[in-house]
């Protein structure tokens, strides 16, 4: 979980609601359109890798969903009725947080809770909602690399693209004029790193609007003798919900029994198929962010959970760093290491100075690798050896033992020098 977000939940909640309000305006819609257009060039098939990122996100539709969102945003819309309150509704925040905590702990992706509850059930725990209510959910990893508002816009853009959701339900909810207030829940997720839940409604009954809605509820009943009873029932219902909100503010998110969550996890399996085995921990990769690199030995690519993408020697995180690959003696298995460990343990040795060559550029002389700065000295060394061999030849006669071997040594040196 991004530490800046976890430490600033109220500000993050408001940033999400501000993001929804923004895209409902003409100016905000155009800004969103430009942001999504920039994503198109970052797709390769179903793989999405934003500029500057090291990890790949596996999508379901590739750029098709982004292109569909662009077409939607370009179409004409009347934004005059798209009002949205950026002040969080406390009951909707509670219901959102309950579900975020539930699915995050269970490690599932679903609008159904471990207790079989649906968004309406959870919202009605804490309030009386009016006319319409809905829920949108985002899964992914939140880091500290961007500001809260930039992160919020990325999340809203993802929900507008709505990859893998045939009816684009999240997109339509964001632009639904009948959804005017909201609350946000944020939690860690055991599969996708983080989860953000937003519950929305046309309105909820609160202290300021209670008299209005109480009277409106009573006026819908034409039988005069039932009016007082309706008022009493509505009042009691409102007071019950208000009391629950006060208790929830103290107790925190509802914590379901572990056995219930385990059963729900079995029933509500994540909607992603396993996309491979992590090369490091050997556990299945269920989705979310994936690091994938090609093997240098020509075998299938290697996939890693982002947290498992570490140097095989020093265990440092490799995301954003230069990496090298090594194979075992049989060339069957590759390992990934950082550039620093490669330089110390596997970089070629210069035949001139006998030190590791850590630069990408080097020279080859007579099959030996050299630093470019060592070439001249190495050639002079070979030249001296050649001269020394010539002087020794003058001291020897053709009849001396080992003459044949000496001639061969001289011929070899002459050949090496000629090739320089």
362 CB-near residues (< 8 Å, 6+ apart): 348, 350, 369, 370, 371, 372
Mean pLDDT, residues 122-139 taken together: 91
Q: What is the pLDDT of residues 204-218, one digit of tens each?
A: 888 887 777 777 665
Contact 106, 261 (CB under 8 A): yes
> Is residue 203 within 8 Å of residue 181, measured between CB atoms?
yes
Domain ranges of the chain: 3-205+259-267, 292-360, 370-419
- Determine what percent of the chain falls in helix, strand and coil, rounding each to the nearest 5: 45, 15, 40
Q: Could you give the 3-state DSSP secondary structure of residue 336?
A: strand
The total of other beta-carbon atoms located within 10 Å of residue 226's CB is 12
Domain 3-205+259-267 carries which CATH code?
Answer: 3.40.33.10
Distances (CA, A) of 197 to 52, 54, 159, 186: 27, 27, 11, 7
Please report which confidence band the pLDDT of residue 335 belongs to, taking 50, 70 and 90 as the band edges. confident
Beta bridge partners of 44: 47
Q: Is 340 exposed, middle or buried (0-12, 13-18, 19+ CB in 10 A)?
A: middle
Q: What is the pLDDT of residue 352?
A: 84
Give me the mean pLDDT over the 1-20 stretch: 75
End-to-end Cα spacing for the chain: 59
- CA 320/CA 227 separation, integer angstroms: 68
Q: Residue 196: pLDDT above 90?
A: yes
The helix/strand count (H/E) of the chain reads as: 14, 12
- What is the model's pLDDT at position 404? 46
The DSSP letter of residue 310 is B
Which DSSP string corresponds to 158-212? HHHHTTT-TT-HHHHHHT-TT--EEEEEEEEETTTEEEEEEEEEEEE--TTTHHH
CA dihedral 282, 283, 288, 292 (to 10 degrees): 10
Q: Model confidence at 1, in pLDDT bands (50, 70, 90)?
A: very low
Question: 367: closest CA among 356, 358, 378?
Answer: 378
Banded model confidence at residue 399, pLDDT cuts 50, 70, 90: very low
Q: What average pLDDT score do residues 345-371 get? A: 83
271 pLDDT tier (thresholds 50, 70, 90): very low
Instruction: Measure the CA–CA gap between 328 and 295, rounded to whole angstroms.
Output: 13
Write the DSSP assignment of 378-395 as a string of letters: HHHHHHHHHHHHHHHHHH
Instruction: Give the Cα separation of 191 and 195 in Å (integer).
Output: 10
pLDDT at position 93 is: 92
pLDDT digits (tens, 9 = 90+) for 372-386: 888 888 888 888 877
Place of tokens 């599969």: 191
Q: Is the pLDDT of residue 397 over 80?
A: no
Q: Which of 275-289, 366-380, 388-402 has the highest mean pLDDT?
A: 366-380
Per-residue confidence (pLDDT) for residue 343, from 0 to 100? 86
Say how many C-beta atoms besides its own lie within 10 A of residue 414's C-beta.
13
Q: Which two tokens stand for residue 196?
A: 């953000």
User: Which of 70-84, 228-242, 293-307, 392-406 has the least mean pLDDT?
Assistant: 392-406
Structure tokens at 19: 């993001």
Residue 354 three-state SS? coil
* Residue linked to tokens 């110390």: 344
pLDDT category at 390 given cuts 50, 70, 90 is: low
Of 73-82, 220-229, 386-395, where does the model show the most confidence?
A: 73-82
298, containing H or E segment: none
Spatial CB neighbours of 409, under 8 Å, sequence gap ≥ 6: 389
- Model confidence at 170, in pLDDT bands (50, 70, 90)? very high
Which pLDDT score, from 0 to 100, does residue 333 have?
A: 65
Which burial class, exposed, middle or buried, applies to 332 when counting CB atoms under 10 A from its CB (0-12, 13-18, 19+)? exposed
pLDDT of residue 273: 53
3-state SS class at 374 = helix
DSSP state of 401: T
User: Any idea which of 74-83, 186-195, 210-219, 270-279 has the lowest mean pLDDT?
Assistant: 270-279
Pick among 1.25.40, 2.30.29, 3.40.50, 2.10.110: CATH of 292-360: 2.10.110
What mean pLDDT is reported for the chain? 80
Question: Which tens digits make up the pLDDT trace of 228-251?
Answer: 667 777 888 888 888 888 888 888
Dihedral angle over CA of 94, 97, 98, 101, nearest 10: -160
Mean pLDDT for 275-296 is: 77
Average pLDDT over residues 310-319: 86
Spacing of C-alpha 338 from chain mean position: 22
Rounded Cα–Cα distance for residues 364 and 353 (Å): 14
| pLDDT surpasses 80 at 41 | yes
Is residue 256 within 8 Å of residue 239, measured between CB atoms?
no
- In which band, very low, low, confident or very high, does the pLDDT at 277 lie, cut at 50, 70 and 90? confident
Write down the pLDDT at residue 346: 84
pLDDT at 77 over 90: no
């Amino acid at each position: 979980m991004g530490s800046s977000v976890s430490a600033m939940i109220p500000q993050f909640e408001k940033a999400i609601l501000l993001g929804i309000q923004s895209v409902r305006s003409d100016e905000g819609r155009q800004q969103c359109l430009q942001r999504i257009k920039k994503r198109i060039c970052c797709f390769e098939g179903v793989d999405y890798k934003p500029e500057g990122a090291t990890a790949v996100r596996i999508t379901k539709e590739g750029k098709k969903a982004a292109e569909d969102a662009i077409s939607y945003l370009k179409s004409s819309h009347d934004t005059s009725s798209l009002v949205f309150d950026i002040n969080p509704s406390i009951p909707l925040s509670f219901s959102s947080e309950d579900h975020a905590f539930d699915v995050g702990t269970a490690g599932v992706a679903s609008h159904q809770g471990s207790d079989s509850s649906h968004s309406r059930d959870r919202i009605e725990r804490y309030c009386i909602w009016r006319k319409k209510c809905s829920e949108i959910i985002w899964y992914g990893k939140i880091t500290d690399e961007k500001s809260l508002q930039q992160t919020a816009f990325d999340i809203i853009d993802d929900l507008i693209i709505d990859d893998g959701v045939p009816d684009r339900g999240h997109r339509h909810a964001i632009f639904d004029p009948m959804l005017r207030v909201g609350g946000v829940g944020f939690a860690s997720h055991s599969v996708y790193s983080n989860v953000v839940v937003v519950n929305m409604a046309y309105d909820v009954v609160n202290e300021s609007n209670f008299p209005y809605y109480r009277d409106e509820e009573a006026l819908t009943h034409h039988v005069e003798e039932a009016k007082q009873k309706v008022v009493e029932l509505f009042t009691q219902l409102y007071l019950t919900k208000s009391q629950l909100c006060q208790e929830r503010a103290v107790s925190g998110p509802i914590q379901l029994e572990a056995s219930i969550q385990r059963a729900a996890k079995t029933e509500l399996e994540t909607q992603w198929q396993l996309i491979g085995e992590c090369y490091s921990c050997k556990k299945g990769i269920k989705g979310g962010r994936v690091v994938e690199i090609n093997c240098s030995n020509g075998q299938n690519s290697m996939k890693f959970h982002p947290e498992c993408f570490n140097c095989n020697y020093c265990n440092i995180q490799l995301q954003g760093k230069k990496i090298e690959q090594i194979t075992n003696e049989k060339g069957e298995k590759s390992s990934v290491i950082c550039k620093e460990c490669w330089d110390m343990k596997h970089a070629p040795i210069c035949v001139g100075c006998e030190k590791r060559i850590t630069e990408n550029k080097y020279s080859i002389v007579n099959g030996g690798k050299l630093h470019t700065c060592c070439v001249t000295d190495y050639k002079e060394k070979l030249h001296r050896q050649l001269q020394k061999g010539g002087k020794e030849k003058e001291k020897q006669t053709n009849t001396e033992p080992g003459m044949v071997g000496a001639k061969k040594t001289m011929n070899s040196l002459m050949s090496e020098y000629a090739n320089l």
